[in-house]
């Protein structure tokens, strides 16, 4: 047994013991899919760095494969363009994570929560590295799975990795929030990105009685995993599932870009004690310790009676 196969088996065993992998079919997928084909080189966050910095871990380096099979999310792209192999030397870089391989326990838990069966047609929104797609293709068969990826560079890399692993799902480069551009009646939809609201296209492309599993989030980093049952064209009902789930937000739903705050040079000094409020009027009120007394302003000369 290769080192990769041993690490896959060890990870699957841990996830089975803690209850994450309750379905033998999904355990088989976890033991079969080589995550390293989909991740390649990746970034790890530099602890306590401000602003956040990332250090590249390149394929073949010491600890690289063990890091692949840690139950952790691995960052594979920064700022929509920078990959770990683009960074020279061991220098750390500043950036915003825009693509990743989600921690295996979360991916496998979500696939099980979706309750897919052989014969179901499934639409996945957010192929990313292709690792989740490969797990789904192993369980369902490639002909039953369509995956949509927004980023062309990420999508091409996922297609190459899926082919190398021997899987052939239908892969589309496009806006997954619009659903399958060819339409279709899907039994299940799973999103590996978060959204601010459930797109109407999803509610029309999943059959009545079908399920949608997606993370809803806002611009303030709150999020919740919602499981919906489609009740008719354009309508669904459901609930938020327990636990914490977080994904990168779909790029069309992301907040507008904002400039990075520059840290100016200077000497660090202890914070000053809180300033005491003046006993004089502040904003139309008089302040005294322990009480605020409203002050009635005098009318100006032009005020009506």
Q: Write down the pTM of the prediction.
A: 0.80
13-17, 71-75, 254-258, 293-297 — which is least confidently predicted? 293-297
What is the sign of the dihedral through the CA atoms of 96, 101, 107 and 111? positive
130-134, 216-220, 280-284 — which is least confidently predicted? 280-284
Burial of 23 (0-12, 13-18, 19+ CB in 10 A): middle
- Condensed to tens digits (0 to 9), the pLDDT of residues 116-173 reads 998 999 999 999 999 999 999 999 999 999 999 999 999 999 999 999 999 999 999 9
Ordered alpha helix ranges (H), 206-305: none
> Residue 183: its pLDDT value, please?
86
Distance CA 203, CA 232 (A): 8
> Residue 120: its pLDDT value, please?
97
Is 259 a residue whose pLDDT tops 70?
no
Distance CA 253, CA 251 (A): 5
pLDDT-derived band of residue 261, with 50, 70 and 90 as boundaries?
Answer: low
- Condensed to tens digits (0 to 9), the pLDDT of residues 37-56 reads 999 999 999 999 988 999 99
Q: What percent of the chain has pLDDT over 70?
A: 86
Distance CA 61, CA 100 (A): 19
Segment 172-200 shows an average pLDDT of: 94
Is 286 a residue whose pLDDT tops 50?
no
pLDDT-derived band of residue 302, with 50, 70 and 90 as boundaries?
Answer: very low
Reply yes or no: is the peptide bond before residue 51 cis, omega within 30 of 0: yes
Burial of 47 (0-12, 13-18, 19+ CB in 10 A): exposed
């Amino acid at each position: 047994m290769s080192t990769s196969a041993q690490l896959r088996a060890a990870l699957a065993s841990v996830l089975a013991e803690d209850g994450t992998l309750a379905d033998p079919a999904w355990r088989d997928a976890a033991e079969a899919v080589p995550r390293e084909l989909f991740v390649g080189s990746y970034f790890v966050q530099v602890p306590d760095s401000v602003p956040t910095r990332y250090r590249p871990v390149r394929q073949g380096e010491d600890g690289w494969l063990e890091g692949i099979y840690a139950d952790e999310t691995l960052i594979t792209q920064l700022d929509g363009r920078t990959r770990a192999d683009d960074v020279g030397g061991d220098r750390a870089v500043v950036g915003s994570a825009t693509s990743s391989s989600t921690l295996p326990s979360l991916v496998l838990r979500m696939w099980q929560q979706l309750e897919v069966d052989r014969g179901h047609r499934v639409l996945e929104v957010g192929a990313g590295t292709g690792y989740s797609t490969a797990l789904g293709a192993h369980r369902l068969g490639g002909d039953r799975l369509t995956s949509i990826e927004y980023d062309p560079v990420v999508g091409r890399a996922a297609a190459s990795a899926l082919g190398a692993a021997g899987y052939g799902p239908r892969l589309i480069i496009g806006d997954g929030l619009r659903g399958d551009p060819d339409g279709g009646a899907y039994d299940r939809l799973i999103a590996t990105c978060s959204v601010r609201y459930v797109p109407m296209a999803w509610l029309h492309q999943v059959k009545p009685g079908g399920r949608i599993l997606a993370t809803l989030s806002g611009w303030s980093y709150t999020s919740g995993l919602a499981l919906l049952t489609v009740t008719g064209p354009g309508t669904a009902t459901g609930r938020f599932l327990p636990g914490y789930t977080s994904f990168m937000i779909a790029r069309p739903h992301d907040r507008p870009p904002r400039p990075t705050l520059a840290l100016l040079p200077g000497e660090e000094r202890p914070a000053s004690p809180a300033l005491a409020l003046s006993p004089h009027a502040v904003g139309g009120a008089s302040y005294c310790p322990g009480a605020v007394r409203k002050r009635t302003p005098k009318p100006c000369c032009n005020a009506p009676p």
